[in-house]
Amino acid sequence: WLDSAVLPNHEQWEHDGIVPRSAWEDAGTRGFLGLSVPETYGGGGTDDFRFAAVMSEEIGMTGVVGGGHGFTVHNDIVLPYILSLANEEQKQRWLPGMVSGKLIGALAITEPNTGSDMGGIKTTAIRDGDEYVINGQKTYISNGQSSDVIVLVCKTDPQRPREAISLILVETDRVGFSR
């Protein structure tokens, strides 16, 4: 699949700055997304990281950057956060789409003028009733241009700016979100 579907398109994807959703859905159809996601949500149901390691090695051997790296971020960074931190309703809402490639995940840490120093990030999420009001900017986000769900690193307590670092899952179709 990497040789026939990813490599021939990689240069164009890099030029466009985005891996098309059709490639994600193809990866999902072939079982390449959500290896560690339980079968009840459509995933591979394995807790053996060696499967993910083999996939990462195969992607690495192709030399692709955007397409391959994005699948790894989705599978090995974003999905584990959702698996370990989301409640059941959230898992049912997001995991099947992420396994199928219909929803793409990203992790947003890096900020302009801060880099990836989580203690120095400026993005805040302040509770306002039943929701959080998020303000800030992120940059260099793998899958950022195509993502539907972003694990966002932010500060949630202005009184403890270096300690109160939280992860909030942001759906990119929310009012106020822009790329």
Give 126's strand partners.
133
pLDDT confidence of residue 91? 97
Low-confidence ranges of the chain (pLDDT < 50): none
What gap in Å lies between CA 81 and CA 121, rounded to an integer? 20
Per the CB < 8 A criterion, the answer to whether 6 and 62 are in contact is: yes
Angle at which helix 21-29 crosses helix 88-100, to 10 degrees, equals: 100
pTM reported for the whole predicted model: 0.90
pLDDT confidence of residue 113? 86
Give per-residue burial for 126-156: e unless 16+ CB within 10 Å, then b.
Answer: eeeeeebebebebeebbbbebbbbbbbbbbb
pLDDT confidence of residue 68? 65
Per the CB < 8 A criterion, the answer to whether 138 and 147 are in contact is: no
Number of Cβ within 10 Å of residue 176's Cβ equals 8
pLDDT confidence of residue 44? 94
pLDDT confidence of residue 66? 59
